[in-house]
Amino acid sequence: SAPIALIAGPCQMESRAHVLECAAAVKEIAGALGIGVVFKASFDKANRTSISASRGVGLDEALPVFAEIRETYGMPVLTDIHSADQCAPVAEVVDALQIPAFLCRQTDILVAAAKTGAVVNVKKGQFLAPWDMKNVLTKVLESGNPNVLLTERGASFGYNTLVSDMRALPVMAATGAPVIFDATHSVQQPGGKGSSSGGERDMVAVLARAAVAVGVAGLFIETHPDPDNTISSDGPNMIALKDLKGLLQELMEIDAVSKKYRATA
């Protein structure tokens, strides 16, 4: 019943300068609002729709930048890993390892992430029912790591579309793990643009309001200085940094109402 926290940052670390600019902006917004924040950026987009799409700066270039963000801004950092062998080196410079949705059932990756001792944030696969995340959670817990977050990011709904089932939030919360709502990828239209994925930015706020009213531990929102001009796959889903503060303000107010009633329930 603590107030919502925020996981935010750009889809992709486009360069050191770019990600530091994002981190400074996110830090300032979170500070102004008094919301707990984890900074997020990806060093590799390992499952882009097209083989010729930009994949990011890569592990070697990214690790020192993650360390720099952690030191300079005093924010915990989260990034996503894509194979078991990335877990240990990445965990040395970040606070939380994220398991991508497509990989949420890969036992070796879950176990390797768990064993680093970092917080593990597992995204629910688009192909999974919310109650099936109990088995995923158990894989991490039984590997000796109690610090697990479960993230909702939409379920397959016909072709090239996801739907956000708000019932999934209390179902996953019943496992005891804090539940995050990923408002960015929930509005993705997978494969919807032919050789990249489409999205519906306007729906980020819509779904975030719904999830916060239902009750979540935190929100995952990708943000960018200029989301319409980015090499990232999630350009169509990211919200502009200049719009983040206003949205969070509203969400924090909804959260206060929701948590007040949960506390007395």
Positions that interact with its own copies (CB under 8 A)? 46-52, 55, 82-85, 102-103, 105-108, 111, 125-132, 135, 138-139, 142-143, 155-161, 163-167, 169-170, 187, 190-191, 195, 200, 202-203, 206-207, 209-215, 250, 253-254, 257-258, 261
Cα–Cα distance between 235 and 79 in angstroms, integer?
A: 18
Contact 146, 120 (CB under 8 A): no
Cα–Cα distance between 216 and 186 in angstroms, integer?
A: 15
* CB closer to its own copies, 71 vs 170: 170
Q: How far is the CB of 179 from its own copies (least distance, A)?
A: 13
* CB closer to its own copies, 64 vs 260: 260
Q: How far is the CB of 161 from its own copies (least distance, A)?
A: 5
* CB closer to its own copies, 9 vs 130: 130
* DSSP secondary structure letter of residue 130: G
* CB closer to its own copies, 149 vs 155: 155
Q: How far is the CB of 184 from its own copies (least distance, A)?
A: 14
Q: How far is the CB of 241 from its own copies (least distance, A)?
A: 18
Cα–Cα distance between 113 and 104 in angstroms, integer?
A: 11
Q: How far is the CB of 23 from its own copies (least distance, A)?
A: 27
C-alpha distances (whole Å) from 47 to each of 53, 188, 195 are 10, 14, 12
C-alpha distances (whole Å) from 57 to each of 7, 24, 27, 159 are 21, 20, 22, 31
* CB closer to its own copies, 15 vs 195: 195
Cβ neighbors of 129 (< 8 A, separation 6 or more) are none
* CB closer to its own copies, 75 vs 86: 86
**Could you give the 3-state DSSP secondary structure of residue 40?**
strand
What region, left, alpha or beta, does residue 162 occupy, with left being phi > 0 and alpha being psi -120 to 50 degrees? beta
Q: How far is the CB of 47 from its own copies (least distance, A)?
A: 4
Q: Residue 180: beta bridge partners?
A: 151, 218
Encoded tokens for 182: 């990923």
* CB closer to its own copies, 40 vs 139: 139
Look up residue 142 and give its amino acid: E
Encoded tokens for 31: 């500070």
Q: How far is the CB of 70 from its own copies (least distance, A)?
A: 27
**Closest of 161, 162, 160, 178 to residue 215, by C-alpha:** 178
